[in-house]
Every structure is written in C-alpha cells, then in structure tokens.
Amino acid sequence: MRLRDVNFPSIASSEITPEDVWLNRRQLMQGAGLGALAAVGMTPSAAATSSTLAELAAAAADCDGCSTDESLTPYSDAISYNNFYEFGTDKSDPAQYAHEMNVDPWSVEVGGLVNKPGKLHLEDLITGFDLEERIYRFRCVEAWSMVVPWVGFPLAALLERFEPSSDAKYVAFKTLYRRREMRGTRSFTSIIDWPYREGLRLDEAMHPLTLMTVGLYGKVLPNQSGAPLRLIVPWKYGFKSIKSIVSIELVDKQPATSWQQLAPQEYGFYSNVNPEVDHPRWSQRFERRLPSSLFSPNRIQTLPFNGYAEQVASLYKGMDLRVHY
C-alpha cells in the first residue's frame, strides 16, 4: 500500500522511526527527483499497522493541541499548492522548480547567544532527535488553510542542545540562498531581500507546539515543502513557518523578518492568526480550507490563534494584539 492510497495517517507517531524517514530520504535521492516522490511508499511495517484517527488522537492526548480530528488535506494538495518564493510566486512554481535545490549535504549553523555554538548535519536532523507526528491546522495569511500531519521534533529540543545564554531573547532563522538553484531569487520581479528570514521570541520558540519539521504524511519533506528542515508554528500565519533552514541564531533584539521588512503595515513580527485584525487588503475572518474550488470553496471561520488559544494565548498576556499584529 502506498501512502497516497490512504486518506488518514496510518502510522502513529511512536511508529515512525528515524530509519523510516532516513530510508525514505535515500529512496528519494536515488529516485529521479520529484517524479519519484509519489512512488516513495511507506515501510511494510508501517503499512501493516493502520490506526484510526481516534487512536491517533488518543495517542496524542497527553500533548495538548498536538492532534486534531479534522480531515487531512490530501497529500497531493499539500505538495502542489505551495508558497516558496525562492522558486517563484505562483503556487505551482515550488513543485515544479524546487528539485533544482540540492539538499544533500546540508548543515544548519546554530550560534549567537548560546554557550555551545555548532552545526547540525543532515544525519543529525533525521536520527538525532525523537521524531513525532503532529497533525496541525496551517493557516496562510492569504486566507487559505490546510490540515497536515507533520513529522518533526520540538524546536526546544534543538535549542537546549546549544544552551541559549541568559541574554538570549529571540531566535532568528535564515533560509538557504543559492541563486543558481533558486530561480525565484534571480527573477527581476523578486521583491524579497534574500535570504528569507524569520524570527520568534524565545518563549514562542520554546513552546512545545513549535515544531522543527523534517517530514509530512510519514515521509521526508519534498523540496517544495522546505526540505530538509523547516519550522512549523501552527498558531501563526504560514509565512512564519520558514523553509529550508541553514541558520538559527539566538539574539537579544527582535530580528528583522522578510515580510515585515517588505510591508510592515501588512505583516507584523508576531503574526498570530487573528480573525479580529484584518489584513489591510482583505478580511481574516474566514479561510478556504484546501482542497477548495470556485464551486466548492470550503469556507470556514478562522479561530483566534488558529484554534490554539488554549495553549498559547498566555504567551501574549497584557499585550495589545492590534498593535502587536
């Protein structure tokens, strides 16, 4: 059975071994790029155990907000409707061109205000952390959304290894910037000052829902989804979830981020999902849950903090979220 043949996750988090993900990556590398993606099946052991969503939800019960019983967005939509401006601004550009990015070897530099600066290599990302499955709602600022089973580990687990020093207040992230392999960065219409940058306050970064992500649907991330390592922050607009990370720096001042630099009146540093604060050019009260079409828009209400208020609202106690949007 292939993963694309099942419409609910048939592997529980406890059953994803680093070897499964690693093996899938090897298969992907050895195959003919993205064309081989669909052929990357699940391992036989994983395929044999098919758990229901209810069982999965029960398994994640000890982790508040780590799962949802909402229908998953089909895998094919999640990997073909993307934002990854390094490869172009059309939703179909990343799936078409991201294979031009070389992700092996890969390393992530972790530095700044840490006691033990260093580097993580591809192998460390796949085998050095306990991988979990997290089923999160994912809400783009453009008012579309998905529900995706990600595979990853808490960012906190990574940061702790490098020992942030007491003066560290924020975490700054950078994406790979390689003009030869990223046609969107060579485009004359490109508006971003590359590399793509994002940031979080340290307490947001350490929150258990903040996920360093290496896979989705039990498989390794395809390039268009931000291989080999991306961030997922489920209560914030999608652009905070930076892809293909090469640098993580602990800093003491709020770092500049790509979208805020570009249009500060439209995109704030916090960018928590908030139906009460409209984008200057459109409302944020509703979203189109993918798959969505003209005839079947699948329009649903947007929830404060994307439905994670219970878990994260306390991080922003006393802050005016209309000012700190």
Q: Which of 20, 73, 75, 85 binds ligand MTE (CB under 6 A)?
A: 85
Binding of Mo ion by 138 (CB under 5 A): no
Residue with Cβ nearer Mo ion (138 or 170) = 138
185 binds, among ligand MTE, Mo ion, none (CB under 5 to 8 A by kind): none
Task: Kindly state whether residue 225 participates in binding ligand MTE, applying the rule CB under 6 A.
Answer: yes
Contact status: 311 vs ligand MTE (CB under 6 A) = no
> Which CB sits closer to ligand MTE, 68 or 164?
68
Interface with Mo ion in residues 218-277 (CB under 5 A): 238-239
User: Rule CB under 6 A: is residue 140 a binding residue for ligand MTE?
Assistant: yes
Could you give the CA distance from residue 218 to residue 306 in angstroms, rounded to a whole number?
Answer: 23
With contact defined as beta carbons under 8 Å apart, do 160 and 128 qualify?
Answer: no
Determine, following the binding rule CB under 6 A, whether residue 241 of this chain makes contact with ligand MTE.
yes
Please report, as a single letter, which amino acid is at residue 181.
E
Looking at the Cβ atoms of 50 and 247, the one nearer to ligand MTE is 247
Query: Which residues, in sequence order, are bridge partners of residue 148?
Result: 136
Instruction: Read off φ and ψ for residue 145, nearest 5 degrees.
Output: -150, 165
User: Rounded CA gap, 289 and 297, in Å?
Assistant: 8
| Contacts (CB under 6 A) with ligand MTE, residues 268-297 | none
Task: Give SS3 for 88.
Answer: coil
Q: Is there a contact between 28 and 36 (Cβ–Cβ < 8 Å)?
A: yes
Report, in Å, the least distance between residue 144 CB and ligand MTE.
Answer: 8
**Rounded Cα distance, 108 and 184, in Å:** 22
Residue 134: strand, helix, or coil = strand
- Cα-flanking dihedrals φ and ψ of residue 146, to 5°? -140, 170
Binding site partner of 302, from ligand MTE, Mo ion, none, Cβ cut-off 5-8 A by kind: none
Site for ligand MTE contains 175 (CB under 6 A): yes
- CB under 5 to 8 A by kind: which of Mo ion, ligand MTE, none does 223 bind? none
Closest CA to 155 of 270, 57, 241: 241
Residue that the structure tokens 């106690």 belong to: 317
Q: What is the three-class DSSP state of 242?
A: coil
| Residue span 139-158 as binding mask against Mo ion, x where in contact by CB under 5 A, dash where not | -x------------------
Using CB under 5 A, list all residues that contact Mo ion: 83, 140, 238-239
Using CB under 6 A, list all residues that contact ligand MTE: 82-86, 140, 175, 196, 225, 238-239, 241-244
